[in-house]
Structure 1
C-alpha cells in the first residue's frame, strides 16, 4: 500500500504533544478499517530511520502514530542527532520525564484513535530502545492488545523517574496484552542478568509473552550505522506485522 503522513498535535495532561501519523493512502475514503499501532522511538525522537519504519508498518495496512516522547522537554519538531551530543540530551530527557507522564500521553493517543472511523478498536504498541520500554508500558492500557518490544532499556534496572514509586516491570501482572520481547545478546544496555530478571518477572506474573534473543547489538533494527542487521530486521518486521494484523 502507498502511505500518507501528517503531523497532529494532541493535548495531554502535561502539555501539547506532536504526533506523526502514517496510514494507508486515502484510508478514510476506502471504506475499510485498519488496526492501529502506537510506535515509540528511541531517545532521539522521530529520526529518518524511525520515519522509514513507520512507513513500512503503515504500508502493510496499519495506522501508525509516532509521538514525540519527550514533548514536555523540547520544542515541537525536535530531532536529536545520532552523536554524543544527541545521546547526552536524549538520556537527560529520559532521566527527567516521570513514567506516569507516558501513561497520559498514551491515553491521549488512544482517545484520538477512537475519533477515526476507519480505525479498529484493537490497538498495538511497537518500540525500540527506550521505545521498547514504552511499548511494554503502553500495554498497561486495556485497549492495547499486543506489544512488540525491541531491546527495551531500563526495564530491568528500575531506575527511571516515577511519581508513585512503581516501576514498569513491577506492574507487569496488570498486563493482559500479548507481549513479544526481542533482545540482542551483545547489547550492553540490557545484559544477560537483566534479561534473566525480566524473564523471571514475566513468568511469575503469568504474562502471555514470546521471547527472542539474537547474536546482535543494541539498535540492530536501525537502518543507519554499522549495528544494522537487515536480515534480523526483516524477520522482526514480518513477525510484528503478523501480530498486529491478527489482533
Structure 2
C-alpha cells in the first residue's frame, strides 16, 4: 500500500536576520524526494498558522522545498491566529505595525537561507505570497534576487507601482475582482501599469473576493482557486522547475490499468489521496481507500479483453496532460464504470474519449474523464437514435475523418 505521507516530516529552522538583530523561525516542508527547487511562502496577516503550513505542505507535494518565514517576529515571535473577529483585530494590529522595509530584508534573508540548504536543487528559489504576502511577492520581484514570484490578492501593490521598472524576474499576480482591500480604481492601476511588461502576468478573477484561494474560507471559490493554481505552477516551473515527464508518467499509469491490469501498480503512480471522476456516469473514487476499491472491483479487471485506446492528440501542460483518444471495445463483459448494471450485449463500441489528468509533482492527482454517454447507449442498443439529436459510432468515424458529412442531425 502507498505511503500516505505526502512529504518528509516538516520542521522549524532558524533564519539569521541580515541586519544582525537576531534570528527568526521558519516552517520548512520538504518533498517526498528529499530535494527540489526552493519556494519562500510569504504569510497572510494571520501569521504562520495552520493555513500557511497546509499551503507549504501542498507545494512540497508539488516538488518544492518550502520555507514559511515568521515575518511578524520583530513585533512578536511565532504569531499564529485563526479567523475569529478577535483574531482579525489582532491580525490587523500586526499588519499596521509591520515594517515593510525590514520585512523585505527578512524575505531576502529567507531566500538566501533557503538557497543555501542542501535540499534545494540548483539554488533556484521562488516566492509565493497571499494577502500581505501577495504584496511582498510583488516587492520580491522588484527588490530581491528571487528567480520567480507569484502573488495572490496582494494588498497595497497599487501604492508600489513606481517600483515596477525594477522587476527582475518572472512575476504572476492573481487579483480578485471584488476584493474590498483592492477597490476597482486600484485594481485598474495595477493592470494598466503591469500590462505588456515582459515576464509579467496579471490575472483578474471575476466575481470573487479577497482570499478566494483560502480553502475553507468565507470567500473560497474552488474554480478560481484551481485556475490560479494551474497558472502559478506554470510560472514557477518555467523559472525554477521541477520538470517531470508527465506524458511518460501517464503512459505508465495506463499500462498498469489496461495492459498488466495491476491495481497496486496503478495506485503507485498516484498521490497519497487521489481521485478519479468519470463525468458522464459519476463513477470513480475519492481518496486512496475508495479509489483502490473502485479500481479492484469496478475498473481494472472489468474492461473487455479487446479494449483498446487509440491516441488522437495530446496536450502536455505545466501540471496536467489532456489526451484525446478513441476508446474501443466489444461489450462482452459488464463495465460497471461506463455501463453500470447493464448486462453484456456483445456489441462493438467506439467512442471519442477525453482524459484530463492532473499531477502533483511526479504523481497523478486526479483524472477527469469525458465521453458521450448517449453514443455509448446507441451503440449497445439501449437508445434508439431515431428522432433524437444523438449519434452512434459515427462520432468516432468523423473524429478520424473530418471529410465525412457534417450537420446530419440537423435535417
TM-score scaled by structure 1?
Answer: 0.85
- 2:119 is aligned to 118
User: 1:199 aligned to 2:199?
Assistant: no
Q: Deviations over 1:99-156 (max 9, x none)?
A: 2112221221122123223312221111111110011111134531221111110122
Q: Name which of 22, 47, 63 aligns with 1:15.
A: 22
Rate the CA distance shift 1:143–1:122 in 2: closer, same or farther, 3 A. farther
- 1:35 is aligned to 37
- 2:103 is aligned to 102
Whether the 8 Å CA contact 2:116–2:123 is kept in 1: the answer is no
- 1:222 is aligned to 214
User: 1:231 aligned to 2:235?
Assistant: no
- 2:203 is aligned to 212
What SS does the aligned partner of 1:100 have? helix
Distance in 1 separating the partners of 2:89 and 2:193: 30
Q: Deviations over 1:56-115 (max 9, x none)?
A: 11101111111112111113x320121222222222222222221122212211221232
- 2:65 is aligned to 63
- 1:2 is aligned to 6
Distance in 2 separating the partners of 1:91 and 1:50: 17
- 1:91 is aligned to 92
Whether the 8 Å CA contact 2:194–2:202 is kept in 1: the answer is no
- 1:172 is aligned to 164
User: 1:24 aligned to 2:17?
Assistant: no
**1:24, CA displacement in angstroms?**
0.9
What SS does the aligned partner of 1:246 have? helix
What SS does the aligned partner of 2:74 have? helix
Rate the CA distance shift 1:237–1:95 in 2: closer, same or farther, 3 A. same
User: 1:188 aligned to 2:189?
Assistant: no
Q: Deviations over 1:42-62 (max 9, x none)?
A: 100122222211111110111
**1:203, CA displacement in angstroms?**
4.2
Whether the 8 Å CA contact 1:37–1:62 is kept in 2: the answer is yes
**1:26, CA displacement in angstroms?**
5.4
Whether the 8 Å CA contact 2:11–2:28 is kept in 1: the answer is yes
Which runs of 5 or more residues in structure 2 are unaligned?
Answer: 240-411
Q: Larger C-alpha radius of gyration, 1 or 2?
A: 2
Q: 4+ residue runs of structure 1 moved beyond 6 angstroms?
A: none
Whether the 8 Å CA contact 1:129–1:153 is kept in 2: the answer is yes
* Cα root mean square deviation, aligned: 1.9
**Larger deviation, residues 179-188 vs 111-120:** 111-120
- 1:129 is aligned to 131
- Greater relative contact order (Cα < 8 A, sep 6+): 1
Distance in 2 separating the partners of 1:79 and 1:175: 31
What SS does the aligned partner of 1:139 have? helix
